[in-house]
Structure 1
Amino acid sequence: MSNDNDIRHGRHCVFLMHVHLVFVTKYRREVFTKEILDDLRPMLASVCRDFEAELVEFDGEDDHVHLLVNYPPKVSVSNLVNSLKGVSSRMIRKKNYPSIRKKLWGGALWSPSYFAGSCGGAPIAVIRQYIEQQQTPH
């Protein structure tokens, strides 16, 4: 997709769904560097492709990351998040970064919680007004 406003087509549906995800490191430890974030991007994009989703945008700071993902309706956001966090945690730990090894012990890179917010499209107030204005049959 060249434009994040492109409407996608499935076999029996037409859709345009985006989710804003935020993942926080375990204990909110400040472990990410630019190098680690640059390594995370292709890992996360690959997982998205496995779900027929697209990583539209990605960035982060030293203790958390933000993702904007365009995904099909057949994908459960919780399954997508589970895979994104699991795969990225395993792959980043395999690379053995000193900042992560020093500040995080055990097997976890991410906190078990996450933020997911739907985004894009018309504001809720506009959609509500449009639905209210439908011509109900008598």
Structure 2
Amino acid sequence: MAYWHLYYHIVWATKERIPLISTSIEEKLYKYIIDKSKALKCKIHIINGMPDHVHLIVSIPPTITISEYVRKIKASSSNFIGKNYNNSFYWQDGYGIFSVGVQNFPIAINYVKNQKQHHQNKTTITELEKFSP
């Protein structure tokens, strides 16, 4: 068995950046993404976002590619929300990904944890918020 210790900060948006992640579905969406990640043997360290995008810090084992992970999570979560809560829910193509070193892990966790405050206070990190075509 391989030893691995990888952290990724991944961000993606709703179709056309429409604010489709309402407070009523946010918790259900995040729980679904966490559960689906576990099924793929990936670990979500934190997930949070805004009505038009989501940020997560995740560890993805070397048995699955990053693009495969994102594709599976986006497709299945879009389908889950679309069937159960909002049939107009879709993710935009593309995503942003950043590797996170062990030293910067707490900083990345804090940034994702405080997404709403960062957007409200206009203290977002521009590079982390530009994530799709």
Any unmatched runs of 5+ in structure 2? 105-133
- 2:24 is aligned with 1:15: no
2:21, 2:51 within 8 Å by CA — same for their partners in 1? yes
Please say which structure displays the higher CA radius of gyration: 1
Q: Which of 72, 75, 79 is the matching residue for 1:90?
A: 79
Query: 1:118 aligned to 85, 99, 103, which one?
Result: 99
Q: CA deviation at 1:121?
A: 2.3
Q: 1:44-83 to 2 correspondence within 5 Å?
A: 44-83=33-72
Higher strand share: 1
Q: Indicate the residue corresponding to 2:129 in structure 1.
A: none
Identity %: 26
Tell me the CA shift for residue 76 of structure 1: 0.3
TM-score (norm. length: structure 1): 0.69
d(CA) in 2 for partners of 1:29, 1:61: 11
User: For this pair of structures, how many residues does the alignment match?
Assistant: 104
> Deviations 1:25-54 (Å, cap 9, x if unpaired)?
001111211221101112111221122111
| TM-score of the superposed pair, with normalisation by structure 2 | 0.72
Q: Which has the higher helix share?
A: 2
- Runs of 4+ aligned structure 1 residues displaced above 4 Å come to none
Segments of structure 1 that go 5 or more residues without pairing to the other structure are 1-10, 124-138
Measure how far apart 1:122 and its partner are: 5.0
